[in-house]
Structure 1
Amino acid sequence: TGRNRKRRLFPDDDPQQPPLEHSQAYLTPARGRANLKIETGAHATRVIIEAGRATGLEYRMKAGLFTAKARREVVCGGAFGSPQLLQLSGIGPAAHLCEQGIVPVLDLPGVGANLMDHFYISLMFRCSLPITINELANSQLRKLKAGIDYVLFNKGPLASNGIYAGIFTRTDERQDRPNLQVNTNIWTVQSRTAAGMKAHPFPGFTMSPVHLNPRATGSVRLRGPDPFADPVIRQNFLADRLDVEAMIAAVKLVRGVAARPALAPYNAGEISPGADARTDDEIEAYVRAAAIANLHPVGSCRMGTGIDAVVDPRLRVHGIACLRIADASIMPSLPSGNTNAPSIMIGEKCADMILEDAR
């Protein structure tokens, strides 16, 4: 909680130096503190509430069930984990809790509501030249060379995050800011399974339009009283017609970019959605079949003062003393960009407010 945090995240403020991992930046300097105990392999099962106040946490490890008592608690389970833990603790929509066999402690309808996330689709193209990651993925020799280049010289394809170009733009001139981010990767995916992704056997590149401000919202609900059961996550992508129209426009926009003179010499033809998606109805069918989450979920314990709010502007859970939430779930709306940096900021701000309260 020191004021000079930036230098721990970004060593020497040197843009050439890679930023530290979160554990290096925050946990490593604090490991020697007498008031810190780090437990790994622990699964939180519920927040203990007594007389309207959070007094501890119940968690399970291989050795059994344990309880940690605390004067104040901060939940940081993310947009899926935080609402799940609150609902397991009896904090959430009372009717749903009763249906799942949980005794309601506080009827808080906003817990698990207002879930938002960016989502995207991918347009894949053949590349006319053998300059893509597909050739690397399909060659053991190229993989070996790439590994040596990275380990010994910190260069080569493995030193990149894989996004080689990007676009921020609008699908509708009525938008007051970009509502679309297009990421360009120099590979294409033939199949995607639990075992991983398989590249096409020929050169290819992908352009993926990401919807930055979708209107539809989803929910996170319990599957039952078992804290180890995955929650029921409903994103509701494309439930709003404006979101559908934005992605239809995105497909047309990306196709236009791929046909521009700078890219046309490399564009050897569209793999997907391909010739089967030309009309708006055909494009919509592809969007509905191919859209996937961009893994930027927020909003399921949103900050505010209305009936659907979960935490107040100081991140305190409404109706429960000594309990805060500090993660992306408290965002009232979805940022038009990645959520990592805003989540770090939320944690930093929460630390400051805890110190202010302690003083």
Structure 2
Amino acid sequence: METYDYIVIGAGSAGCAVTRALVDNPENKVLLIEAGPHANRFWVNTPAGMATMFFHKVLNWNFHTEPMPNLQNRRMYWARGKLLGGSSSINGMIYIRGHPKDFDYWRDQGNPGWGYDDLLPYFKKMEHFERRSDEWRGQGGPLWVSDPVVKMPSSFDFIEAANSLQIPVTEDMNGEVHDGVGFMQHTIRDGRRWSAYKAFVKPVEGRPNLTILTEAHVRKITFEGRTATGVEIQHKGQRKRFAAAREVVVSSGAINSAQLLLLSGVGPAAELGRHGIEMVHESPGVGENLQDHFYVHAGWRATEDSSYNRSLRGLRKYWQGFKYLMTHKGYLALGASQVAAFVKSNPGEDYADLQISFRPMTFDFHPSGRMVVESFPGVGASVYPTRPKGRGRITLRSADPMEKAVCDPNFMSNEDDNIALMRGFRIMRQIVNAEPMARRILGEELPGPLVQTDEEIFGYMRSHGATPQHTVGTCKMGRDAMAVVDERLRVRGLDRLRVIDASIMPQLTSGNTNSPSIVIGVKGGDMLCADKMPRRPVPSL
């Protein structure tokens, strides 16, 4: 049986950062296991390629939720990356840290070392912010962060319209002032997607102390008593085992990390017993506390110069393709959205609890699953409560590790969330209908002017509400009975096992979750190195 000091399960946003921290010490022998293939593909590296990644049958886990009664029994689609880089290789590349008070909340839930002041050095260390470095921003780190290469006139007008409604302009929502309206930043470098894989792992993948195993599905974590000893995997039709002399690190994301712990005998006793899985350690919080943002979208017909829809259709799209190939600029080099507004649903909120995102283009889903740019000039916007109170769960469908978990996000189950979303929808409309944005609008296409009352908006939420796939929380960090890991990200009650990814978040952050997922990996890797466990004796077979 091959032995490594550390086995990292999952080469996603956090797992790549963890791996880099471990590999930078040449004394560590590291195995990085990824269920999907390599990420070296044209459409992965091209920002506009996110549209082709959304339903990709090889590079995407293609999760679906269970039917949800609150959403007319709809099943929600959850795209998650299944390749080196994980979801950072297929997402919209939006880089938002979150509000400082998000992390102070984590700290105050019994997690010392996780407040904003604790994390700020890690945020700065991990990034290269193209524009500058200062008290809040870093340069020289591996993760490239840039402004949109093309800023559309309608984006400027959206910002001005929001400001006319007393929403302050923030020049850098990842800097001193998070709340307000301003241009988003993206993990794009010189017109190319800059995933966690490209930032952290690719520069060191040739080092002799790193082994990367792709297209390998981890079946379970192995234990001797309460000590994690390694993993059992499925690779090319064969089962194999690898031993970990120091620690096993689970970085598989909020869905797969919880599922893997359950399959390995770590979780609620009733859930393990239901599937005949031998219990290693009872941890009632595994799979609980599932959180995701839930949004509603609106679309408007707009003037020709407000949208780049037509530039991505017909013969014009070939010109854009040629331009991108020659210069790595143009519309194919843009991230998912251009502008974000962080606002309060009511004045009593301590800080903004809504995110409104604006994009100067619109699209629809083709029956084949492709995202198709609409034929008319259009602009779109969406809104969601940033810190929802509703909670869901991840459970097992069976004891078969090759079968996907049961995903139940329990959307629209909390009245406060529903009220906040309805208020956010009205604020979003107010911004678009305010000058100078209003002069660009020719008519509302979705949901249309007939949707006005609270009852009608609520019905639209039920029938059209969707998710940006910001799943977190299923192995939460803390000290209460439902906490799965402690503040060092060690699984409570077990030895030599940590979970380091978005599943450890006690609560969602205010904004897109890729940046905080990566910082969890950076800090978690630092903890592994600082805590350096002695090598345990590993018997040879």
TM-score range, shorter chain: over 0.9
- Structure 1 segment 140-289 matched on structure 2, within 5 A: 141-289=315-463
Quote the offset at 1:8 in angstroms. 4.7
| Residues in 2 aligned to 1:85 and 1:10: alpha-carbon distance in whole angstroms | 28
Q: Distance in 1 between matches of 2:375 and 2:515?
A: 37
Residue 8 (structure 2) aligns with = none
Between stretches 15-24 and 147-156, larger displacement belongs to 15-24
Q: Does 1:138 align with 2:313?
A: yes
Q: How does the TM-score come out when normalised to structure 2?
A: 0.63
Deviations 1:229-281 (A, max 9, x none): 11111111110001111111112111111111211111111111113321111
For the 8 Å contact 2:225–2:280, the answer to whether it is kept is no
Report whether the alignment pairs 1:338 with 2:520. no
Q: Residue 121 of structure 1 aligns with which residue?
A: 296
- Structure 1 window deviating more from structure 2 (157-166 vs 59-68): it is 157-166
Find 2:196's aligned residue among 22, 41, 64: 22
Q: What CA distance in whole angstroms lies between the structure 1 residues aligned with 2:222 and 2:234?
A: 14
Correspondences of 1:2-17 after superposition (within 5 Å): 7-10=140-143
Q: Per-residue deviation at 1:36?
A: 2.1
Q: Could you list the per-position Cα deviations for residues 155-178 of structure 1 after superposition, in whole angstroms to 9, with x for gaps in the alignment?
A: 221121142322111111111111
**Residue 99 of structure 1 pairs with residue 269 of structure 2:** no
Q: Secondary structure in 1 aligned to 2:376?
A: coil
Deviation at 1:20, TM superposition (A): 4.3
State the distance in 1 between where 2:350 and 2:421 align. Answer: 17
Q: Percent identity?
A: 36
2:191 aligned with 1:58, yes or no?
Answer: no
- Choose which of 252, 255, 268 in structure 2 pairs with 1:77: 252
Of 210, 213, 217, the match for 1:43: 217
Q: Against the structure 1 CA distance between its residues 20 and 250, is the aligned structure 2 distance closer, same or farther, given a 3 Å change threshold? A: closer
| 1:74-129 Cα shifts (integer Å, max 9, x gaps) | 00001011000000001111111111232222111100000111121111111133
Q: Give the conservation status (yes or no) of the 8 Å contact 1:301–1:330.
A: yes
Q: For 2:497, give the aligned amino acid.
A: L
Cα 1:336–1:153, aligned 2, differ >3 Å: closer, same or farther? Answer: same
The aligned amino acid for 1:125 is W
Query: 1:192 Cα shift?
Result: 4.8
Q: Which amino acid aligns with 2:525?
A: A
Query: For residues 231 and 37 of structure 1, do their structure 2 counterparts lie closer, same or farther at Cα, with a shift above 3 Å needed?
Result: same
Partner letter of residue 247 of structure 1? L
Distance 2:275 2:143 in 1: 45
The change in CA–CA distance for 1:172 and 1:14 in structure 2 (over 3 A counts) is: closer
| Counterpart residue type for residue 9 of structure 1 | P
In structure 2, relative to structure 1, the CA distance for the partners of 1:193 and 1:327 (3 Å cut) is farther
**Secondary structure of residue in 2 paired with 1:348:** helix
Unaligned runs of 5+ in 1: none
Residues in 2 aligned to 1:235 and 1:146: alpha-carbon distance in whole angstroms: 39
**What is the alpha-carbon distance in structure 2 between the residues aligned to residue 83 and residue 10 of structure 1?**
27
Alpha-carbon separation, structure 2, partners of 1:50 and 1:110: 22
Identify which range, 107-116 or 199-208, moves more after superposition: 199-208
Following superposition, the deviation at residue 196 of structure 1 comes to 1.1
Q: Structure 1 residues 2-11 or 98-107, which shifts more?
A: 2-11
More displaced 10-residue stretch of structure 1: 265-274 or 183-192: 183-192
Aligned residues: 357
Matching residue's letter, 1:351: G
Shift of 1:187: 2.2
CA RMSD of aligned residues (A): 2.2
Residue number in structure 1 paired with 2:479 = 305
**Preserved contact between residue 132 and residue 203 of structure 1 (Cα < 8 Å):** yes
> SS in structure 2 opposite 1:274?
coil
Answer whether contact 1:8 1:20 (CA < 8 A) is retained: no
Question: Is the CA contact (8 Å cut-off) linking 1:101 and 1:224 kept in structure 2?
Answer: no
C-alpha deviation, 1:287, in angstroms: 0.8
**Conserved in 1, the CA contact under 8 Å of 2:306 and 2:440?**
no
Distance in 1 between residues matched to 2:281 and 2:287, nearest whole Å: 14
Deviation at 1:10, TM superposition (A): 4.5
The amino acid that maps onto 2:499 is I
Q: Which secondary structure does the structure 1 equivalent of 2:249 belong to?
A: strand
Which moves more between the two structures, 280-289 or 181-190?
Answer: 181-190
SS in structure 1 of the partner of residue 197 of structure 2: helix
Q: Distance in 1 between matches of 2:347 and 2:232?
A: 51
User: Displacement, 1:185?
Assistant: 1.4
Change in 2 beyond 3 A, CA 1:267/1:117: same
For 2:492, give the aligned amino acid. H
Shift of the alpha carbon at 1:134? Answer: 2.6
State the Cα deviation string for residues 20-46 of structure 1 (Å, max 9, x = none). 432233223333433321111100110
1:348 to 505, 514, 522: 522
Q: Determine helix, strand or coil for the equivalent of 1:238.
A: coil
**Whole-Å Cα distance in 2 between the matches of residues 148 and 278 of structure 1?**
44
**Residue 240 of structure 2 aligns to a residue in which SS?**
strand
Maintained 8 Å contact 1:162/1:186: no
| Counterparts in 2 of 1:338 and 1:108: CA distance versus 1, 3 Å | same
Bigger RCO of structures 1 and 2 (CA < 8 A, at least 6 apart):
2
* Structure 1 CA distance for aligned equivalents of residues 447 and 424 of structure 2: 13
SS state of the match for residue 403, structure 2? coil
Q: 2:446 and 2:214 mapped to 1: Cα distance?
A: 43
**Corresponding residue for residue 76 of structure 2:** none
